[in-house]
Amino acid sequence: MIAFADVRARYPRQQHLALGGVSLDAERGSVTAVVGPNGSGKSTLIRALIGRVPLAAGTISIDGADTRTWSREAIARRVAVVTQREETTFPMTVREYVALGRLPHRGTWGRDTMQDRAAVDAAIARTGMHALADRSVHQLSGGEWQRVRFARALAQGGDALVADEPTTFLDIAHEMAVFELMRSVAADGHAVLMVSHQLNLVARFADRLVLLHDGRVAAAGTVNDVMRPEILEQVYEWPVLVTRDAAIGALTLVPLRKPSTSSRS
Amino acid sequence: MSRSHWTMLCLALLAAIALALAIGTIGYTPADTWRALTGQADATTTLVIRELRLRRTILAALLGAGLGISGAALQGVLRNALAEPYLLGVSGGAAVGAVLAVVAGMSYAFVPIAAFAGAALAVALALFVAHAAHGRADPRVLIMAGVVVGAFANAAIMILLANASESRVRGAVWWMMGSVADARWSETAWLGLYVVVGGAVLVTTARSLDAIALGEDSAAGLGVDVDRVSRRIYLTASLVAAATVAAAGLVGFVGLVVPHIVRRIGASGHRTLLVASALMGALLTVLADIVARAAMPPTELPLGAITAVVGVPFFLATLRRLT
């Protein structure tokens, strides 16, 4: 549904290409995960999608239509994005915050429609934030705040959900809840595109992996295609082991200690 | 904000304007005031109320409305609770323009034009510096550029005033303290035009401001062209502020504090916030002008100082109910 074709992008006043020709597809009904070391261009990929980094070459298309011919609002009506970091400057309630997801559906003078309110209620219910709907967003814990951000993206509607490192700083339960949510959103027929550092969870939840290295695709395909020690060692520049977890059978990455540093394993 | 909040805000503003017309060196009853406004009173009463008090009260209301809406928009777009209308060098630039005109011995009628030109130049300079430094108007760079342009302006003012005669220094300092005492209909009408047109432009950006409050990338994800909207707000808010400075000199505090007061009484979306900040700014400034001329008659106190004196307790009272 969202297709990047040979996308090259460069930040203003930089010689170096942040994306050096990336192609990938995020299909409806599946979770596509972009992984890779810090600085490999994962976030830039998402910033290019929302028009925050100009494309030097290549195209990003939604259902075959080049997004350069679309208005930003038209893109926002189709694709909801949960960015990596976000801070609200001024206090607002959870419900008001989630309702911001409806912005691309309203005109300059538009008011809340029944449809807007229904979408907001459904998003709050789905993320389990009902009890906190009238709380100020400044009073939420890190895990609650992330759920609320997903509620806003769900309220935005559209048929694609994009999330940039959505589980950074979250505890195990909140992290798993986010991955389960992504999976269930994909099961509803949405295209889910996520950036993550959690290779082991991605291996369990994603249908397709795209491994970026220095602004290029180092490997892409199924979990079995990408979770291979020789590829990962080269990209992450660290010795790793890939095993199959005895209890759940999932491919698991184990980063190794470097021999000289300590005797403990 | 509920409907009753809006009603109370509008009624309070009307009451303050009525009070401003009745109170002064000569006190009038509400009935006298009404007769003067409708042209049924004697010549002196009509002159005092219609020509002197009505003019300055309308100017005060427009001044406050302009500063309130400009401050609310800039706080939103810069995502900074300390942003205010003069931030991008408006005050410094306007002061340099005005002081230049005063020191050069130009007629006082020319001072507003010089102040406006100075303010516009300073804003253009701050935007240019921020743009040149970062390829686009990054809020952090923009705030620094505004501060630096302001510091440069202060230095220029000190150099200009170092050799000026005492009466000119006094004239310049008085101008900088802000006043609506010399209100003229032509200036008031110009300011009205800026506040109404500029205010309308800012209100059309309200939806984008709601999104920008979440950060630039999040706003872009919600379909907002952040760079274009930001530029429009910087320019419009600063021009409105420059117009207020040209009409009445520097009146601090209103643009900083009014958006906070309005947020505390429950305005969350920017459409509500911008319109309510205009009304609240008008209310605060009209009240401050009443105090400025009624506190120590026949001396008039500087309006810019009174807005702070009236505004601080108001602000502290609302701070107690924070979050």
Using one digit for the tens of pLDDT, what is the confidence trace for B87-122?
A: 888 888 888 888 888 788 777 677 788 888 998 898
For residue A261, what pLDDT band results from cuts at 50, 70 and 90? low
> How many whole angstroms separate alpha carbon A129 and alpha carbon A145?
10
Mutation for testing the A interface, residue in B217, B224, B264 having most A CBs under 10 Å: B217
What does the pLDDT look like over B157-215, one tens digit per residue? 888 888 878 888 887 787 778 878 777 788 888 889 999 999 999 999 998 998 998 88
Question: Which member of A50, A90, A110 has the closest CB to residue B263?
Answer: A90
Cβ atoms B311, B71 nearer than 8 A: no
What is the mean pLDDT of the segment spanning B1-18?
A: 90
Cβ atoms A24, A70 nearer than 8 A: no
What does the pLDDT look like over A35-87, one tens digit per residue? 999 999 999 999 999 988 999 999 999 999 999 999 999 999 999 999 988 87
Cβ atoms B24, B36 nearer than 8 A: no
Q: How are beta strands A2-9 and A55-62 bridged, if at all?
A: antiparallel
DSSP, collapsed to helix, strand or coil, labels residue A23 as strand
Q: Is the pLDDT of residue B323 over 60?
A: no
Q: Is the pLDDT of residue B126 over 90?
A: no
Residue B224 contacts A, CB cutoff 8 Å: yes
Q: How are beta strands A79-82 and A65-66 bridged, if at all?
A: unpaired
Q: Is the pLDDT of residue A262 over 60?
A: no
What pLDDT score was predicted for residue B63? 94
Q: Which residue of A has its CA nearest to B323?
A: A91
- Percent of chain B beyond pLDDT 70? 96
For residue A98, what pLDDT band results from cuts at 50, 70 and 90? very high
What pLDDT score was predicted for residue B67? 95
What pLDDT score was predicted for residue A218? 96
Determine, for residues A92 and B268 on separate chains, whether the beta-carbon distance falls below 8 Å: yes
What does the pLDDT look like over A190-238, one tens digit per residue? 999 999 999 999 999 999 999 999 999 999 999 999 999 999 999 999 9
> How many whole angstroms separate alpha carbon B211 and alpha carbon B77?
10
What is the mean pLDDT of the segment spanning B229-256?
A: 88
What does the pLDDT look like over B264-314, one tens digit per residue? 887 778 999 999 999 999 999 999 999 888 888 778 888 888 888 877 777
What pLDDT score was predicted for residue B182? 76
Q: Is the pLDDT of residue A95 over 70?
A: yes
Query: How far is the alpha carbon of B171 from chain A, nearest alpha carbon, in Å?
Result: 40
What does the pLDDT look like over B32-48, one tens digit per residue? 888 888 878 788 888 78
Enumerate the residues of chain B whose CB falls inside 8 A of the CB of residue A12: 134-136
What pLDDT score was predicted for residue B49? 80
Determine, for residues A90 and B81 on separate chains, whether the beta-carbon distance falls below 8 Å: yes
Cβ atoms A254, A238 nearer than 8 A: no
What does the pLDDT look like over A139-154, one tens digit per residue? 999 889 999 999 999 9
b/e sequence A146-179, b meaning 16+ C-beta within 10 Å: bbbbbbbbbbbbbbbbbbbbbbeebeeebbebbb
Mean of the per-residue pLDDT values for chain B?
85
Mutation for testing the A interface, residue in B205, B214, B275 having most A CBs under 10 Å: B214
- What lies within 8 Å, CB to CB, of B181 at 6+ separation is B56, B293, B300
